[in-house]
């Protein structure tokens, strides 16, 4: 490394967030870039560690660690330190098609694997990544690069989320004619409508889509394959099909009162908000408003956090978040969750920080199960009946939640958002293709092969592996592109 003692000289500094009092009045991104000199120092913190666990995504004793797309992190950290920003961008794009996305929304499993993180705060890899790509766009270094030659092969990709876009980018680079179908009115899938604007500005998404279009990819929004266009018609138009349509079937809560009004799936709430925001700055009345309401979010993950942040920007009366799992500890459990696994520790994300600013406390309550919803005479939800739980092993040794007697209570709610994860893809598309499914209802396709039970049909991303991270979707899209290219040409030079 350029400065072997950098990790001894400089403390970890991350990108700062805008003050909560300011950002709660708009939809602009929460985090802003730090000064270049700080990024140079952060690059200098990258050690000459010998074995960089950060750059390779792997599973160690059941725990994930490292970058799923094998980003060359030590290399571009060193280039940042030396001020060679354009070379750093080239190394970053070598493995990652969309660092402007991962540099904003990835939880950074790379940092969990940072060797410095054994006994010091890890290198701020995530923020270095965003700094490199944002500087690349600022300086005009990121330009369309269409392939010099075209093959006569046609590939259809269903779904324009991170897996579909990564697959499209790579196959287009190989010279194939790529068409991407998206059922929504805008391209981007999860990136456009699933992640709120304050985490990922939609101009950032559209900027990359415009680049891909300039490179020759044909985008067709508003086409729902399986409904507007049949599986047989699609297969008849191309040489290979890639299904990258995500795991979009939400987990429901089948309890008394579920049919009451103002109980919504989280993604319906978030999608409608972003679409209305883009269409009319929320003036068209086509979103689910939390203004003045007592909001309860059921689910403690990233989607739940996004619901909290969105509801606060609507000026909700109050927001609470219920989580059935135990509260994580503040420190890593080194016996059961050792380095370099992802640390299972308490994290206070932007939504919780905003709720603390507005309400004076973290909105999350742990070990809570909702037993029923209750409503008024007009059929609107007005309260939740909840109970505390503890996790015990059943006869098969599986952990299950058991109610704690005497802990039942009722909490008020005017709007309930279900953010409990996803169960796999919607049925109509894999059914129309007559594809085999795995026990979790995902499309069956072996990792690193991606071929389904139907020849010439491939699957990648959440539709194959289940709900996961954007960075894993990019990994799958790139890997699927290699296999499709090999299927079409007999060999591949794609990375």
Q: Crossing angle, helix 162-173 and helix 470-489, to 10 degrees?
A: 40
Q: Please name the fold of domain 154-248+423-489.
A: FAD/NAD(P)-binding domain (3.50.50)
State the pLDDT at residue 63. Answer: 78
State the pLDDT at residue 397. Answer: 87
Asked if 154-248+423-489 and 263-418 have one fold, the answer is yes
Domain segments of the chain: what residues?
A: 6-138, 154-248+423-489, 263-418
State the pLDDT at residue 62. Answer: 77
State the pLDDT at residue 416. Answer: 98
The angle formed by the CA atoms of residues 108, 324 and 399, to the nearest 5 degrees, is 95
Question: pLDDT tens track of the chain, all 495 residues?
Answer: 678 899 999 999 999 999 999 999 999 999 999 998 999 999 999 998 989 999 988 888 877 889 999 999 999 999 999 999 999 999 999 999 999 999 999 999 999 999 999 999 999 999 999 999 999 999 999 999 999 999 999 999 999 999 999 999 999 999 999 999 999 999 999 999 999 999 999 999 999 999 999 999 999 999 999 999 999 999 999 999 999 999 999 999 999 999 999 999 999 999 999 999 999 999 999 999 999 999 999 999 999 999 999 999 999 999 999 999 999 999 989 888 999 999 999 999 999 999 999 999 999 999 999 999 999 999 999 999 999 999 999 888 899 999 999 999 999 999 999 999 999 999 999 999 999 999 999 999 998 999 999 999 999 999 999 999 999 999 999 999 999 999 999 999 998
Given a contact cutoff of 8 angstroms between Cβ atoms, the answer to whether 309 and 198 are in contact is yes
Count Cα atoms within 13 angstroms, Cβ side, for 349.
18
Backbone angles phi, psi at 439, to 5 degrees: -60, -20
State the pLDDT at residue 50. Answer: 87
Q: What is the dihedral of CA 471, 305, 38, 93, to 10 degrees?
A: 20
What's the gap between Cα 469 and its chain centre? 4
Count Cα atoms within 13 angstroms, Cβ side, for 50.
1
Yes or no: is domain 263-418 CATH 3.50.50.60?
yes
Q: What is the pTM of this model?
A: 0.96
**Domain 6-138: CATH architecture, name and number where available:** Orthogonal Bundle (1.10)
């Amino acid at each position: 490394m350029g400065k072997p003692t950098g990790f001894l000289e400089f403390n970890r500094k991350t990108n700062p967030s805008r003050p909560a009092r300011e950002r709660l009045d708009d939809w602009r991104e929460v985090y802003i870039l730090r000064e270049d000199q700080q990024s140079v120092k952060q690059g200098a913190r990258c050690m000459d560690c010998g074995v960089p666990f950060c750059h390779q995504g792997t599973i160690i004793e059941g725990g994930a660690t490292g970058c799923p797309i094998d980003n060359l992190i030590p290399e571009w950290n060193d280039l940042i330190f030396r001020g060679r920003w354009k070379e750093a961008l080239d190394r970053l794009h070598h493995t990652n098609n969309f660092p402007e996305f991962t540099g904003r929304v990835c939880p950074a499993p790379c940092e969990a694997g940072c060797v410095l993180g054994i006994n010091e705060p890890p290198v701020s890899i995530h923020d270095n990544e965003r700094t490199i790509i944002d500087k690349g766009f600022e300086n005009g270094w990121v330009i369309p690069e269409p392939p010099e030659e075209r093959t006569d092969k046609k590939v259809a990709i269903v779904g324009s989320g991170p897996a579909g876009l990564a697959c499209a980018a790579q196959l287009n680079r190989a010279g194939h004619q790529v068409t991407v179908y998206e059922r929504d009115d805008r391209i981007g899938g999860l990136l456009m409508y699933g992640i709120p604007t304050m985490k990922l500005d939609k101009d950032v998404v559209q900027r990359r889509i415009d680049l891909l279009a300039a490179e020759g990819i044909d985008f067709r929004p508003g086409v729902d394959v399986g409904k507007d266009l049949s599986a047989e018609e699609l297969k008849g138009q191309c040489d290979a099909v890639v299904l990258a349509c995500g795991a979009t079937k939400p987990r429901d809560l089948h309890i008394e009162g579920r049919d009451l009004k103002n109980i919504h799936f989280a993604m319906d709430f978030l999608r409608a908000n972003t679409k209305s925001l883009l269409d009319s700055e929320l003036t068209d009345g086509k979103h689910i408003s939390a203004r003045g309401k007592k909001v309860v979010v059921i689910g403690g993950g990233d989607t739940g956090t996004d619901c909290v942040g969105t509801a606060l920007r609507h000026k909700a009366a109050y927001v609470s978040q219920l989580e059935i799992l135990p509260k994580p500890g503040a420190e890593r459990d080194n016996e059961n969750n050792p380095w370099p696994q992802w640390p299972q520790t308490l994290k206070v994300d932007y939504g919780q920080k905003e709720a603390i600013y507005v309400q004076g406390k973290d909105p999350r309550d742990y070990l809570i199960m909702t037993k029923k919803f209750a409503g008024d005479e007009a059929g609107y939800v007005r309260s939740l009946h909840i109970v505390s739980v503890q996790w015990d092993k059943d006869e098969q040794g599986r952990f299950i939640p058991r109610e704690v007697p005497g802990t039942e209570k009722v909490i008020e709610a005017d709007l309930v958002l279900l953010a409990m994860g996803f169960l796999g893809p919607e049925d109509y598309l894999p059914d129309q293709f007559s594809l085999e499914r795995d026990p979790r209802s995902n499309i069956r396709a072996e990792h690193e092969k991606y071929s389904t039970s139907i020849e010439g049909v491939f699957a990648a991303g959440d539709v194959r592996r289940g709900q996961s991270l954007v960075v894993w979707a990019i990994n799958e899209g790139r890997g699927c592109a290699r296999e499709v290219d090999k299927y079409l040409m007999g060999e591949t030079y794609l990375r």
